[in-house]
Amino acid sequence: MTTAALDTAGVLVAGEAREGRGEEQTIFEPATGVEVTALRLASTADVDDAVRAAAAALAGRWGRTSAPQRSRLLHGLADAIEADAEKLVEIETRNVGKAVTAVRGEVGAAAAVLRYYASVAGSIEGSANPIGGSLTAYTLRESVGVCGQIVPWNYPLSMAVAKVAPALAAGCSVVLKPDALTPLSALRLGRLALEAGIPPGALNVVPGDGPTIGGHLVAHPEVRKVSFTGSTATGAEVMKAGAPLVKRLTLELGGKSPSLVFADADLGEAVKGCVWSVYSAAGQSCEARSRVLVEREIHDEFLTRFVERAALLRVGDPLAEDTQIGSLISTRHRDRVHELVEAARDQGAQVHCGGEVPSGDGAFYPPTTISDPDHGLAIEQAEVFGPVATVVPFDGEDEAVRLANDVRYGLMATVWTGDPARGPRLARRIESGTIGVNMPYTSFPGVPFGGFKQSGFGREFALETLDDYLETKSVVLWTGKKSPTPID
Ligand code: NAD
């Protein structure tokens, strides 16, 4: 990818793609370390302009669109993404370093999410309550207003669309802040939205530093709602910053999710599914099931087969069609992942494959499998966000559930079993927002996705997500002649 192939504008505000007034950010390909472009990203003044543009859009043409019009516009944006898919896939793959086959799926899923919200936009409706006599009440569903949406670097386009689609469907306007490392696909999304006819100012894109630019957006008095995806620590900062102005919040935060493999499971399917669940996206997924809990009687065989499969995964050039695992986001992040592996090794855990920083360029780290970690170790409790799995034995359902729940997170869990009653039974006992039963994939349009405990609150990808972007206004109507006011 050459610089000429990229949009060089660092912000998109009020329908204009232009240089930002903030820091210059060099954008690297993490898989090669090569610089692809440098962009001037947003300053706090750009955020102010973006919020002003978003408010003006609500006061203008965008604020007057009907649900059917918004539906048509969202379908138009999905069409534009599909038409531009090849370019979006290349940009995202280069910028994030993930395998191109995975990124292709993400771009397709982004269009599908837009189509889902295009389809349900018309379901937004109030209700009437004929209380009796001359008294009637009814409700209006109105957009919350200007929304600040903050997304991380691991799924820059698909996370952006997961937030933008329901907000626009509900008639809100958006100021979207991508991570400073991965602004390219979100900026392109903003341009595609304009091409699809979404009015200027309805979607503004202001990439920049987290605490300065993200913090300014969260604290901005005109921003009524903040939707944030990122780490639990930052989510707590966002709550604090939003508290003085009682901001509405959705927080999609970290995870430390388990797979639970029972002795009656189809072992081949379970191994394949568990490998995919932790190593896809090089483990840089909030829902990565990085703790593989295995019933003791099959533990040793499972571990052998899991390690064999993990070691065979093809790690390499993200743009190669046969690559299964690309690079991590940066060498800095890779070094942090490696530190956690080293600490586990020092504390007595066994490393069966991977666990070494490869020589050569790029932020690569091999699929790594660890057994026998103590339950209290950081490798069992903290989000590693890299291609690292631990395999731990358990005896019976009660212990499996105890281990699964004994972390501060609760985002995702997968149960592998041949007993048709076990999955639904455990789904009631595991504290997490999504439970898969013999099914490793996690997010589908229409299926609520979000966290229990410190994995956050609010749900995305779902019909109920629209509620987060709507206010309910009650209108109480007296149609009698004489007002019932008790004072004359
Ligand atoms: P992060 O919290 O460091 O950053 C996320 C975003 O917040 C970035 O855009 C960043 O610039 C911004 N930010 C940072 N500090 C801020 C502040 N003080 N105020 C406002 N914005 C700020 O997270 P990360 O390391 O970039 O992303 C990985 C994390 O995201 C992991 O913990 C992962 O589990 C989580 N994640 C969760 C989901 C989910 O749906 N639950 C999905 C993807 C990623």
CATH of the domain at 269: 3.40.309.10
* CA gap 371, 216 in Å, rounded: 44
If asked whether residues 303 and 388 sit together in one domain, one would say yes
If asked whether residues 337 and 358 sit together in one domain, one would say yes
pLDDT of 106 reads: 98
| Helix extents (H) in 347-443 | 378-381, 396-405, 422-429
- The residue to mutate among 150, 209, 442, having the most atoms of ligand 1 within 8 angstroms of its beta carbon, is 150
Could you list the residue range(s) of the whole structural domain that residue 24 is in? 11-253+455-473
If asked whether residues 378 and 244 sit together in one domain, one would say no
Distance 231 CA to ligand 1 centre (A): 5
Q: Of 411, 437, 463, which residue constitutes the final position of a domain?
A: 437
Q: State the average pLDDT over residues 421-437.
A: 98
pLDDT of 4 reads: 41
Residue nearest to atom 41 of ligand 1 (CA): 252
Is 388 a domain residue?
yes
What is the strand order of the sheet 135-143 is part of?
Answer: 128-132, 135-143, 470-478
pLDDT of 372 reads: 86
Q: What is the CATH number of the domain that holds 60?
A: 3.40.605.10
Is 486 a domain residue?
no
Helix (H) or strand (E) holding 226, with range, is strand 225-229
Q: Are 457 and 433 in contact (CB under 8 A)?
A: no
Of all residues in the chain, the percent with pLDDT exceeding 70 is 99
Residue nearest to atom 21 of ligand 1 (CA): 214
Annotation marks residue 252 as catalytic? yes
pLDDT at 7 > cutoff 70: no
- pLDDT bin (cut points 50, 70, 90) of residue 449 is very high
Q: State the average pLDDT over residues 382-405.
A: 98
Instruction: Point out the ligand 1 atom lying closest to the alpha carbon of residue 254.
Output: 34
Is 85 a domain residue?
yes
If asked whether residues 428 and 469 sit together in one domain, one would say no
Q: State the average pLDDT over residues 129-139.
A: 95
Residue with the larger pLDDT of the pair 334 and 443: 334
pLDDT of 6 reads: 56
If asked whether residues 57 and 150 sit together in one domain, one would say yes
210 within ligand 1 shell (Cβ under 6 A): yes
CA neighbor of 453 nearest in space, from 419, 406, 416: 406
CA distances from 319 to 13, 28, 83 (A): 31, 15, 20
Q: Are 337 and 282 in contact (CB under 8 A)?
A: no
pLDDT of 96 reads: 98
Is 484 a domain residue?
no
- pLDDT bin (cut points 50, 70, 90) of residue 5 is very low
If asked whether residues 168 and 239 sit together in one domain, one would say yes
If asked whether residues 219 and 295 sit together in one domain, one would say no
Q: State the average pLDDT over residues 218-230.
A: 98
Distance 309 CA to ligand 1 centre (A): 31
Mean pLDDT of all residues belonging to the chain: 96
Is 479 a domain residue?
no
pLDDT of 164 reads: 98
If asked whether residues 20 and 60 sit together in one domain, one would say yes
Q: Which position among 106, 252, 287, 380 bears the catalytic label?
A: 252
Instruction: Point out the ligand 1 atom lying closest to the alpha carbon of residue 455.
Output: 41
Is 114 a domain residue?
yes
If asked whether residues 167 and 222 sit together in one domain, one would say yes
Q: State the average pLDDT over residues 47-75.
A: 98
298 within ligand 1 shell (Cβ under 6 A): no
User: 3-class DSSP state for residue 77?
Assistant: helix
Q: State the average pLDDT over residues 262-284.
A: 98
pLDDT of 482 reads: 87
214 within ligand 1 shell (Cβ under 6 A): yes
Q: State the average pLDDT over residues 357-365.
A: 96
Q: State the average pLDDT over residues 11-18.
A: 98
Q: Of 437, 463, 483, which residue constitutes the final position of a domain?
A: 437
pLDDT in tens, 154-170: 999 999 999 999 999 99
Is 6 a domain residue?
no
pLDDT at 469 > cutoff 90: yes
Q: State the average pLDDT over residues 66-86.
A: 98
Q: State the average pLDDT over residues 307-316.
A: 98
Annotation marks residue 321 as catalytic? no
| Helix extents (H) in 97-155 | 100-120
Distance 413 CA to ligand 1 centre (A): 21
If asked whether residues 188 and 42 sit together in one domain, one would say yes
Residue nearest to atom 17 of ligand 1 (CA): 211
Residue nearest to atom 26 of ligand 1 (CA): 152
* CA gap 34, 326 in Å, rounded: 15
| Helix extents (H) in 170-231 | 184-195, 215-219
* CA gap 56, 200 in Å, rounded: 9
Instruction: Give the contacts of 339 (CB within 8 A, at least 6 positions apart).
Output: none
Compute CA 296 distance to the chain's CA centroid, rounded to the nearest angstrom. Answer: 34
Q: State the average pLDDT over residues 180-208.
A: 98
Q: State the average pLDDT over residues 234-260.
A: 98
CB atoms < 10 A from the CB of 263, how many? 15
252 within ligand 1 shell (Cβ under 6 A): yes
pLDDT of 488 reads: 75
If asked whether residues 194 and 153 sit together in one domain, one would say yes
Side-chain-side CA neighbours of residue 122 (13 Å): 8
Lowest mean pLDDT among 86-90, 346-350, 442-446, 465-469: 442-446
pLDDT of 114 reads: 98
Q: State the average pLDDT over residues 174-196.
A: 98
Indicate the number of domains in the chain: 2
Is 376 a domain residue?
yes
pLDDT of 442 reads: 84
If asked whether residues 199 and 61 sit together in one domain, one would say yes
Q: State the average pLDDT over residues 40-67.
A: 98
Q: State the average pLDDT over residues 387-409.
A: 98
- pLDDT bin (cut points 50, 70, 90) of residue 2 is very low
